[in-house]
Amino acid sequence: MSGGLPGLDRVVIRDVGPRDGLQPEAPVSVEDRIRLIEALVVAGLTRIEVAAFVSPKAVPAMAGAADVVAGLTRAEGVTYTALVPNLRGAELALAAEVDELTVTISASATYNRRNVKMSIDESVDAIGSITTLAGPAAVPVDAVISCCFGSPYEGEISPTDVVDLARRLEQVGVTSLTYADTTGMATPRLVVDLIDLLPGGVGWMDTGLHLHDTRGTGLVNAYAALQHGVARFDTAVGGLGGSPFAHGAGGNLATEGLVALLDDLSVPTGVDLTLLLDATDLLATLVDRPLPSPLAHHGPRTRIAGRGQE
Amino acid sequence: MSGGLPGLDRVVIRDVGPRDGLQPEAPVSVEDRIRLIEALVVAGLTRIEVAAFVSPKAVPAMAGAADVVAGLTRAEGVTYTALVPNLRGAELALAAEVDELTVTISASATYNRRNVKMSIDESVDAIGSITTLAGPAAVPVDAVISCCFGSPYEGEISPTDVVDLARRLEQVGVTSLTYADTTGMATPRLVVDLIDLLPGGVGWMDTGLHLHDTRGTGLVNAYAALQHGVARFDTAVGGLGGSPFAHGAGGNLATEGLVALLDDLSVPTGVDLTLLLDATDLLATLVDRPLPSPLAHHGPRTRIAGRGQE
């Protein structure tokens, strides 16, 4: 295929903007977070990380998680996901009847300790207790492994160690695995190296990538992954995001950037770029800083006489 | 090869920062432009667009082109390039003893008329007169074709039309051809489509790409081109740039972003990334706005405990 992609039937995009995107920002009200989520649904997103059931003291921007979930008008065919840091969070998220849980663990021991105050072993055990809780409710648990392509603390992270951790997470019952480039240290080479090591390839544990654009490499890393068959990505509307625990981390790969790339390659995502940019416009009114996403400023290449061309 | 590149022996990077990068900025003194150029030479750049022999009334930032060239301590093995808009500019550039001339012409008729007030036919003729002048001096003339992947005025530009224009430029004696994405409308698909149409492939007329990052796609477009054998790129230190005639255009692809990508893929460029970031630091002191380049802010992935991690 022109552009170098294999025959991908469809790419699934999970928009983590209402959670990962807004988490480091000044708090946005429950009502406005609901408006943003519903704008994403209108744009065609079918999997959205809508909340984090974390301590509002630790992460003020995520306060009111249960209220966000309760306030949503659930659309058919949409998976509403919540991040849970521990068993208590999982109980609350399941009580709120979310459709999917995300749990995080780091391939970097130091990052893991700073982020969740546990060793990697303790985090694996904690995730096991969450999958045990979620199993009877038939709620899938996606484990997001942070710092898969490098750590601001240890530097290089061995892809073999990442895959070893992934196998342990499979054993404790997670449903799928998402490999995160938390601080924007991935490169096309490292992405391909990791994919090549996955037992059974990208089909194993429904491989997803969660990319950050700290060093301007989010899209090229996604492209390399797409060329190797990865068909599931975490992105954030407007390109917001970045962990407060990783100095120098920039935003998530912008949803609109990935959608524009895939539209141009004729790979379906179900997302309407024009409607997505409406959601981006809404987001720009909710946060008190310019959005990092270049498309939010310049508009898509197909919009000749419109946005950014005035 | 891991990361999907064919065996590229070397990639040639022409840094257009002192010209295309500084052109839309508030004027930087001749002395400081010389400092920037010499910092790029120290970093290992071997081809640098150092000046534009244009009317200082039309482009105040490029005033003093002859003084810039005269003031340089010429390093062996470095090609010092100047942009010339017309025969008079070419005469001045040749008198200044530059090593290479760049001329521009647009694949977009409207853009061409706005940029140089000529039809495309008139521009081809003008370029022919420049190659006739430069020939006896044995100074190569590189034609940079703007808007090859879309125009802010006409929208889509047919790659067939681009190749037809390229053939006409070959016939009037240009030495090499550089395909420019002046307003950041290229996509990996469009890059590959154009490469596929080149008569004789990327070896024909020493194919180069000049990419802009308006929509955050500079690096992914470069990666797609590299995968198809393109081994020559125009980039700008710090990611500055953008034509004043193209509303909404952002900066050039940052030199440091491409060097970091190629370093990671073990493709030699001759450029030392650390020294290049010294040049970027210098540039940041010369212009009165934050540099667009993410690496200028966050530093390379390999610099764990340094820049951006404080």
Q: What is the DSSP string of B120-162?
A: HHHHHHHHHHHHHHHHHHT--EEEEEETTT-BTTTB---HHHH
Given a cut of 70, is residue A272 above it in pLDDT?
Answer: yes
d(CA A86, CA B177): 58
Looking at residue A302, its pLDDT comes to 76
Distances, alpha carbon A30 to alpha carbons A42, A79, A93, A289, B171, in Å: 18, 19, 16, 19, 65
> Are the Cβ atoms of A224 and B3 closer than 8 angstroms?
yes
3-state secondary structure chain A: CCCCCCCCCCCEEEECHHHHHCCCCCCCCHHHHHHHHHHHHHHCCCEEEEEECCCCCCCHHHCCHHHHHHHCCCCCCCEEEEECCCHHHHHHHHHCCCCEEEEEEECCHHHHHHHHCCCHHHHHHHHHHHHHHHHHHCCCEEEEEECCCCECCCECCCHHHHHHHHHHHHHCCCCEEEEECCCCCCCHHHHHHHHHHCCCHHHCCCCEEECECCCCCHHHHHHHHHHCCCCEEEEEHHHCCCCCCCCCCCCECEHHHHHHHHHHCCCCCCCCHHHHHHHHHHHHHHCCCCCCCHHHHHCCCCCCCCCCCC
Q: How far is CA B173 from the centre of its chain?
A: 20
Q: How far is CA A159 from the centre of its chain?
A: 20
Looking at residue B302, its pLDDT comes to 76
- Nearest chain B Cα distance for residue A152, angstroms: 6
Chain A, nearest residue to B149 by Cα = A301
Answer whether B56 touches A (CB < 8 Å).
Answer: no
User: Looking at per-residue confidence, does B243 or A94 come out higher?
Assistant: A94
pLDDT category of residue A46 using cuts at 50, 70 and 90: very high
pLDDT tens over chain B, length 310 residues: 455 577 789 999 999 999 999 999 999 999 999 999 999 999 999 999 999 999 999 999 999 999 999 999 999 999 999 999 999 999 999 999 999 999 999 999 999 999 889 999 999 999 999 999 999 999 999 999 999 999 989 899 999 999 999 999 999 999 999 999 998 999 999 999 999 999 989 999 999 999 999 999 999 999 999 999 999 999 999 999 976 555 544 699 999 999 999 999 999 999 999 999 999 999 999 997 788 888 888 889 877 544 343 3
| Contact call for residues B16 and B252 (beta carbons, < 8 A) | yes
Counting residues of chain A whose pLDDT is more than 70, the rounded percentage is 94
Looking at residue B120, its pLDDT comes to 97
Of B188, B215, B247, the CB nearest to A301: B215
Please calculate the CA angle B176-A4-A280 and round it to the nearest 5 degrees: 100
Domains of chain A: 12-298 (3.20.20.70)
Average pLDDT over residues A69-91: 97
- Nearest chain B Cα distance for residue A111, angstroms: 13
Residues of chain B positioned with their CB less than 8 A from the CB of A153: 304
Answer whether A6 touches B (CB < 8 Å).
Answer: no
Given a cut of 60, is residue A40 above it in pLDDT?
Answer: yes
- The B residues from 164 to 203 touching A (CB cutoff 8 Å) are 184-185, 187-190, 192-193, 196
> Of B113, B84, B106, whose CA–CA distance to B180 is shortest?
B106
Non-local (6+) Cβ contacts of A39 within 8 A are A275, A278, A279, A282
pLDDT category of residue A278 using cuts at 50, 70 and 90: very high
Looking at residue A247, its pLDDT comes to 52
Residues of chain A positioned with their CB less than 8 A from the CB of B155: 302, 304
pTM of the predicted model as reported, rounded to 2 decimal places: 0.95
pLDDT category of residue A304 using cuts at 50, 70 and 90: low
Residues of chain B positioned with their CB less than 8 A from the CB of A235: none
Answer whether A282 touches B (CB < 8 Å).
Answer: no
> Are the Cβ atoms of A295 and B216 closer than 8 angstroms?
yes
SS3 B173: coil
> Of B220, B180, B185, B202, whose CA–CA distance to B16 is shortest?
B180
Looking at residue B92, its pLDDT comes to 98
SS3 B236: strand
What's B198's DSSP letter? S
Given a cut of 90, is residue A245 above it in pLDDT?
Answer: no
Looking at residue B297, its pLDDT comes to 84
Of A154, A220, A248, the CB nearest to B223: A220
Tokens of B29: 């003194």
Of B151, B153, B215, the CB nearest to A294: B215
Answer whether A265 touches B (CB < 8 Å).
Answer: yes
Q: What is the pLDDT of residues A153-212, one digit of tens each?
A: 999 999 999 999 999 999 999 999 999 999 899 999 999 999 999 998 999 999 999 999
Backbone angles phi, psi at A15, to 5 degrees: -85, 115
Answer whether A290 touches B (CB < 8 Å).
Answer: no
Of B192, B216, B293, the CB nearest to A4: B192
Please calculate the CA angle A198-A200-A201 and round it to the nearest 5 degrees: 55
Answer whether A9 touches B (CB < 8 Å).
Answer: no
